[in-house]
Amino acid sequence: MAKIDALHPWKEVPLGCAILEAGNSRQFKTGDWRSKIRPVTDQEKCIKCGMCWIFCPDMAYNQRADGFYDWNSYYCKGCGICARECPKEAIQMIAEEE
């Protein structure tokens, strides 16, 4: 779903509610939904299998050149799916500081 950052008057709603800007879901800050816990990855245990990347519902992981996965706080909503799916228990959910 596109982020509604401007509430258009009806005449300005794009035709048929089309989304005119390709890939604008990127702008949607699902990180706002996160409440006090977040994942951290132990690179010692990580085997670069990519399960966290596949399962994350909000695309919070991106693969680096060295094969490990970077976590992005802009998108992570703290659901813990990555921690559950990691076959090596490399991901821990930890309390976030205020």
Partner 1 sequence: MPIQKGMEVSIAVSEAVKLANVDVISAYPITPQTHIVEHLSELVADGELKAAFIPVESEHSALSAAVGAAAVGARAYTATSSQGLALMHEIMFVASSMRIPLVMTVVNRALSAPINIWNDLSDIMAQRDCGWVQLFAINGQEAVDLTLQAFKIAEDPRVLLPVAVNLDGFVLSHVIEPIELPDQEAVDRFLPVFKPTLRLDPDQPVSMGAFGSPEVFIEVKKQVEEALIGSQKVAAEVWKDFGDIFGRTYKPVESYKAKGAEILLVTMGSITETAMTAVDSMREKGRKVGLIHIRLWRPFPFKEFFQAIREAKCLAVVDRALVPGGVGGPVGLEIKSALFEKKERPYVAEFVAGLGGRDLTVEVFAEMAAKAERYAKTQKEMRYEMIGVREK
Task: Note the residues at the interface with partner 1 (CB under 8 A).
Answer: 1-2, 4, 7-11, 13-20, 22-23
**Paired strand residues for 71:** 61
Nearest approach in angstroms of CB 86 to ligand SF4 is: 3
In contact, 55 and 81? CB cutoff 8 Å: yes
- Residues near ligand SF4 (CB under 6 A): 39, 41, 46-52, 56, 58, 60, 69, 71, 76-82, 86, 88, 90-91
Mode of pairing for the β-strands spanning 37-41 and 69-71: unpaired
Residue 49 binding result from ligand SF4, partner 1, none, given CB thresholds of 5 to 8 Å by partner type:
ligand SF4
59: number of Cβ within 10 Å: 14
Torsion, CA 9, CA 28, CA 98, CA 62, rounded to 10: -170
**Which of ligand SF4, partner 1, none lies near 22, with the C-beta cut-off 5 to 8 A by kind?**
partner 1
Q: Between 25 and 49, name the residue whose CB sits nearer to ligand SF4.
A: 49
Complex with ligand SF4: residue 19 or 47, whichever CB lies closer: 47
* Bridge partners, residue 40, by sequence: 92
